A = this chain, B = another copy of it.
Amino acid sequence: MPEKKLRVEFMAMTPDALSLIYAAFRQCYHAGFVADMWPRLLSGEIDPEVQAEFVAKTMESGHDSPIEHVSMTFAAEGISRACSHQIVRHRIASYSQQSQRYVTENDMEYILPPAIARIPEARERFERFMDEVQSAYSDLRQILVDHGRKAKANEDARFVLPQAAETKIVITMNCRSLHHFFHLRCCNRAQWEVRAMADAMLAICKEKLPAIFANGGARCEQLGYCPESPKFACGKYPTREKK
Chain A residues within CB distance 8 Å of chain B: 7, 9, 11-16, 20, 23-25, 27-31, 33-35, 38, 57, 60-62, 65-66, 68-69, 71, 73, 75, 77, 80-82, 84-85, 88-89, 91-92, 94-104, 110-111, 113, 115-116, 119, 121-122, 125-126, 128-129, 132-133, 136, 139-140, 143-144, 147, 149, 152, 155-156, 158-165, 168-170, 172, 174, 189, 191-192, 223, 227-229, 231-232, 240, 243
User: Measured between alpha carbons, how far is A34 from B147 in the docked complex, in Å?
Assistant: 34
> Closest residue to A84 on the B side, CB-wise?
B85
Find chain B residues with CB under 8 A from A88 CB: 85, 88-89
User: Copy number in this complex?
Assistant: 4
Find chain B residues with CB under 8 A from A125 CB: 136, 139-140, 143
Contact check: which of B11, B13, B97 meets A38 at CB < 8 Å? B11
- Quick check: A80 and B159 within 8 Å, CB to CB? yes
- Quick check: B89 and A33 within 8 Å, CB to CB? no
User: Measured between alpha carbons, how far is A143 from B7 in the docked complex, in Å?
Assistant: 29
Find chain B residues with CB under 8 A from A12 CB: 14-16, 20, 69
- Quick check: A73 and B115 within 8 Å, CB to CB? no
- Quick check: B139 and A28 within 8 Å, CB to CB? no
